[in-house]
Amino acid sequence: MVMQIALGSALIVASFVLAALSWLALELTLARLQGWVGRPPWGPRLMAVLGLGLGITLAMITATVWMWALTFWAVEGFLMLETAVYFSLVAVTTLGFGDILLPAQWRLLRGMAAANGMLLFGMMTAMLVETLRVTRLHQRHLRPPVAG
């Protein structure tokens, strides 16, 4: 039990370190693109910025799924890597189909993978909201220009 909690905790911390580094990379990229982002046409530029944020979000979720899958496979919870990836995807996205189960000695990891997924989805949602706030495109687009 202690081994599962330690391993699961280490994976959760690792996924959040990766997410934080990805967020930092996104922030630095947006800072470099600030001049480009602030010019019309706002619609396509907003879509490009959101696309970048969504791409990073997808990459983080994919990396987390693979991290958990490789762990499930390494502890011999599953004999085939494809089964480990499928189980990891179902656990991290909290679908919980239940058609494939970990052996009893590793079942606590399933709950930790689901908790990691829930926390990661919340963090990635916050990252997308922050992306919109930082660009401030929605504010410029909605406000008419001030005549001086």
Q: Are 9 and 107 in contact (CB under 8 A)?
A: no
**Residue predicted with more confidence, 40 or 108:** 108
Asked whether the predicted pLDDT for residue 132 surpasses 60, the reply is: yes
Asked whether the predicted pLDDT for residue 144 surpasses 80, the reply is: no
Determine the residue type at 96. Answer: G
* Residue-wise pLDDT tens digits, 48-105: 888 888 898 899 999 999 999 999 999 999 999 999 999 999 999 988 888 998 998 8
Kindly report the pTM of this predicted structure. 0.82
| Distances 63 to 41, 108, 129, 130 between C-alpha atoms, Å | 34, 21, 21, 21
In which band, very low, low, confident or very high, does the pLDDT at 33 lie, cut at 50, 70 and 90? confident
Q: Residue 76 has what pLDDT? A: 92
Please list the helix, strand and coil fractions of the chain in percent, rounded to the nearest 5, in that order: 80, 0, 20
In which band, very low, low, confident or very high, does the pLDDT at 116 lie, cut at 50, 70 and 90? very high
Average pLDDT, the chain: 86
Domain topology for 2-141: Helix Hairpins (1.10.287)
Per-residue pLDDT averaged across 108-130, rounded?
90
Q: Residue 125 has what pLDDT? A: 87
